[in-house]
Chains A and B, each alone.
Chain A
Amino acid sequence: MSMAPVKLWDFHGGIHPEQNKLQSTLEPSSPAQLPRKLVLPLHQHIGEAAEPVVEIGETVLKGQKVANANGYVSAPVHAPTSGKIIDISEYPIPHPSGLSALAIVIEPDGRDAWVEYTPDQDYTEKNPSHLRNIIREAGIVGLGGAGFPSFIKLNPGSQKKIKTLILNGVECEPYITCDDMLMREDPQSIIEGLHIMRHALQAEECVIAIEDNKPEAFESISKAAAGLDGVRVALVPTRYPQGSEKQLVQVITGKEVPSNGLALNIGVVCHNVATAAAIYRAIHLGQPLISRMVTITGKGVKRPRNLEVLFGTPIEELLQQCDAEFDQIERLVMGGPMMGFALHDIALPVIKTTNCIIAATREELGLDRPVMPCIRCGACADVCPVKLLPQQLYWHAKAKELDKAQEYDLFDCIECGCCSYVCPSNIPLVQFYRFAKGAIWTQEQEHKKSDQARERHEFRLLRIEREKQEREAKRAKKKAPRPQAASPKAPPVDGATMATKMREEAISQRESAAAARKTEIQAALARVQAKKKGTAPKTDEPPAADSSTSPAQKSDLDKTDASSTDSANNQQVP
């Protein structure tokens, strides 16, 4: 089949920052050296942190699972090499908060001995849900930088048919070249991974999107994809933030992913190329995700390049391997310069979402520009890929008019940084939006808490009232056969036993009257909700739902989890 050129669409705004990609592509990628120590954070992905399944002192093999996924939106963690668990405690993790979190520390034994694994080559025979399970168990998360568990995005769910599976090889952020190198050097794994994903999703067609600043990668992938039915390779004009999922979906399909919605809602699924390669390894070779390609670059390293790095490797050792001039480094950025976050320490480990480390020097960053007042020039609105009015958002965020900021669709902001980039007044606009979002979340949390407290209080009053009535009813009933049994003067005589007794009674009564009470509770709930009249976000579930979730409720929760985390997912621009 001859490959028809992919029709491309436009997205609003965007910028053309200096690329700075060439310097890290001058030599082929190579594996990083085995570090002296691996610090494996249990939270390397979006969702719940994994739970350790090993103990200190235990020896583990390469690829052995050391932590289990905890909940639906979560991912297990595997030992990147063989060795001994020497610690499980809090360590600083690479996270914008700069906080510490639980991590498993492995001392490599140098043998690098693999755990026994079973390749599974005839995946087409397998049920898609079986494939998803393998991918989940392999700890695979989106490697474009977001780290959203991949198996969830391979589940079409009850949605209509998946029309387009987009493989994202756009890599629009400056400096980052890890996907570029992977596409150049290992296109076959990516294409194999694509086949597996396509099978899992039963997608109609596949498009591999690559920006035109990566001609080598385009050629390499085109060659590997040549002659495949329904697989097209699109060379898209370079523009940041094209690699952001919603923008890329628009460029490839011409459709806008609805606000608060998923690409899935319009029949599109988007995965990173490196994720595809990882899925190939998981299915065909049986290997879990234990390493990734990382770009080590910036003027602070004399030999910028791409390294295949085991998770948990301290960044310091990678910098050393790239001949870093440590005294020249002014800022250490994980991710790209547009959306990455600054790290406070070179000892932090590489995790699943670490696509790039930029050791930036002072001259490189152009620091110390004075922040001037907004002159409302509108340059920010011109480049906003979401068509927001960044300056209005800025005024409202600055004035802490959070409701106004939300009126201007604050939460549609993907924090791509285009507005800050072009601002002639050097206003850190994105920082203001993050602040406003944070403040709104905190507010909602507080609302939620006070709502819950109020609900609990009303429940309590209700319960006391009911128990009183029930007691009286019982007493009235018991009066005839055993008039003496529950004399009202009892409490002062033996308070403790009486209280226990009453409690037991109440419990037994509660059980017997459970059905009747349920309707009462629901009525009370309805009253509470009516009173609230939509002041608070979705907190309407009775508190009991948290402790004992039925399978149906659970899948519901999972769904909301997936959609809420997905917005964060989308914010990452690979």
Chain B
Amino acid sequence: MPFNTPTSPHQLAPTSITRVMMLVILALIPGITAYVWFFGWGIVVNICIALVTALSCEALILKLRQRPVLPFLSDGSAALTAVLIALTLPPLSPWWITVIGVAFAIIIAKQLYGGLGYNPFNPAMVGYVMLLISFPREMTSWIPPSALADSTLGFIDTTMFILFSTLPDGVTFDALTEATPLDSLKTHLALGNTVDEVRAQLGLDEETSRVLSVIPIFGAIGGKGWEWVGGGFLLGGIWLIYNKIISWHIPVAMLGSLLAASLLFYLIDPDHYATPMFHLFSGAAMLGAFFIATDPVTAAASNRGKLIYGCGIGLFTYVIRTWGGYPDAVAFAVLLMNMCAPLIDHYFKSSVFGHKKG
């Protein structure tokens, strides 16, 4: 009676890529909930469009590359990329923005490099940056947090607008949208106002802000609404660390270095540099730290390497936000550090058992 004789181990842990990816998507739920609460249903519609696009593109390319479609489609990686891109888009982006961004991410940034596990750059960030560079107007037209908006759209109206660009009577697109807090701050600082002036002006005097065609978008610590979204992602991220889906190294290093850099400049000149908390809880800092920078495929491998990698992202984020051309910088910072990951891996290995000197 001959048996098969595969090599050990003969027992495997109950884990799979699908499980890992699904847990990550699950961990996004608190953040997404806050998103919907403050920015309306647009994000949900975007996620749906992105999912359909991502899975279709993935299936198509797998077919063309003659790879098994089902195992790869069900691994959850394309779905995660789709959700992440949707989270970076303005909630009222027209459907084609989402489709182009996701298709670019899946086809160009992921599959053309060899698919799952072989892409040197984070596909979601490549898709986002491509959109940001190609369609700057669409990509910067955010809607304000619901409490501040002149008018808000329901689920049906949002869907109609995203798909057909039709708005209910009496609502104009300009009335719905606003620049992000990071963007506003940047613009006003560029005009020579101090941080507090911008905040005070925007927060206290609604009339003035209307004249200046901005509305009070700053919350208690970060951007209004944004701080809650960021908090949601923080919560999900901690849950992922607790469940050992991601390690603490990259998020801690990234947020730590961002905190350190912003604190340093804030202490030097609080008039012209935003507070550390503003940096941590605005834009994509939290999402980036826990869900994007931690993408294992494109990050450094060893624990020391991860610390360096995370620090790099945090510092680049601060530099680009403060002195660069784009208000939010996480995507650029991640891509820059993606390039460095192989180098970091080369130089930062762990010390192997029994190789201690002395």
Interface residues of chain A, those whose CB is within 8 Å of chain B, are: 12, 15, 17-18, 96, 98, 174, 246, 256-261, 326, 329-333, 335, 337-346, 358, 360, 365-366, 369-370, 372-379, 381-382, 385-389, 391-392, 408-409, 412, 415, 417, 420-426, 428, 430-431, 434
Contacts and interface: CB of A to CB of B under 8 A. Distances in A.
Contacts of A412: 352-355
Contacts of B71: 370, 372
Q: Is the interface of B mostly helix, strand, loop or mixed?
A: loop
A428 B116 CA distance: 18
Interface centre among A259, A370, A423 (most CB of B within 10 A): A370
Q: Which 10 A-B pairs have the closest CB atoms?
A: A373-B117, A417-B9, A259-B354, A337-B11, A342-B5, A386-B353, A377-B296, A337-B10, A338-B9, A376-B296
B7 A261 contact: no
A358 B296 contact: no
B11 A18 contact: yes
Contact of A344 (B5, B11, B349): B5
Given A332-B3, A343-B3, A372 B354 contact: no
A207 B343 CA distance: 45
Interface string B338-358: 000000010001111111100
A424 B19 contact: yes
Given A342-B10, A385-B353, A376 B2 contact: no
Given A258-B354, A261-B354, A373 B118 contact: yes
A508 to B, nearest CB: 54
Given A341-B5, A365-B11, A372-B116, A409 B355 contact: yes
B171 interface: no
A412 B1 CA distance: 36
Contacts of A420: 8-9, 12
B192 interface: no
10 contacts: A337-B10, A338-B9, A342-B8, A346-B1, A369-B16, A373-B115, A375-B20, A381-B303, A389-B302, A417-B8
A265 to B, nearest CB: 10
B15 interface: yes
Contacts of A96: 5, 7
Contacts of B75: 372
B283 to A, nearest CB: 26
B247 interface: yes
Contact of B11 (A17, A392, A409): A17
A376 B350 contact: no
Given A358-B10, A369-B12, A259 B297 contact: no
A434 B117 contact: no
B301 A376 contact: yes
A3 B145 CA distance: 67
A345 B115 contact: no
A257 B353 CA distance: 8
B17 interface: yes
B243 interface: no
A339 B8 contact: yes
Contact of A373 (B116, B303, B356): B116
A341 B351 contact: no
Interface in B88-108: none
A381 B11 contact: no
B299 A372 contact: no
A366 B349 CA distance: 34
Given A333-B10, A342-B10, A389 B353 contact: no
Given A335-B8, A386-B354, A430-B8, 14 more contacts: A174-B11, A326-B1, A331-B10, A337-B10, A340-B10, A370-B71, A373-B117, A373-B118, A375-B296, A376-B301, A377-B20, A389-B349, A424-B16, A424-B19
B268 interface: no
Interface of B: 1-17, 19-20, 68, 71-72, 75, 77, 115-118, 244, 247, 296-297, 299, 301-303, 345, 349-356
A246 B353 contact: yes
Given A373-B115, A385-B353, A360 B10 contact: yes
A252 to B, nearest CB: 15
Nearest to B306: A378
A421 B9 contact: yes
Contacts of B10: 331, 333, 337-338, 340, 342, 358, 360, 365
Given A337-B8, A381-B301, A15 B13 contact: yes
Contacts of B296: 375-378
A331 B296 CA distance: 34
Nearest to A365: B10
A133 B345 CA distance: 51
A56 B354 CA distance: 49
Contacts of B355: 258-259, 409, 412
A342 B3 contact: yes
B303 to A, nearest CB: 8
Contact of A345 (B3, B12, B14, B17): B3
A417 B299 CA distance: 24
A388 B14 CA distance: 23
A376 B299 contact: yes
Given A326-B1, A374-B117, A421 B354 contact: no
A257 to B, nearest CB: 6
A408 B346 CA distance: 10
A392 B13 contact: no
Contacts of B303: 381
A336 to B, nearest CB: 8
Given A343-B3, A376-B117, A388 B9 contact: no
Given A387-B353, A389-B349, A412-B352, A375 B8 contact: no
B8 A341 contact: yes
Contact of A424 (B9, B15, B353): B15
Contacts of A428: 6-7
A425 B9 CA distance: 14
A562 B55 CA distance: 57
Contacts of A332: 3
B20 A434 contact: no
Contacts of B7: 96, 341-342, 428, 430-431, 434
A417 to B, nearest CB: 3
Given A376-B296, A382-B247, A337 B1 contact: no
Contacts of A259: 352-355
A503 B152 CA distance: 109
A382 B245 CA distance: 11
Contacts of A423: 12, 15
B349 A408 contact: yes
Contacts of A365: 10-11
A376 B345 CA distance: 11
Given A331-B4, A341-B7, A342-B4, A366 B350 contact: no
Contacts of B19: 424
Nearest to A385: B353
Contact of B297 (A335, A340, A376): A376
Contacts of B349: 389, 408
A565 to B, nearest CB: 17
Contact of B301 (A360, A370, A373, A378): A378
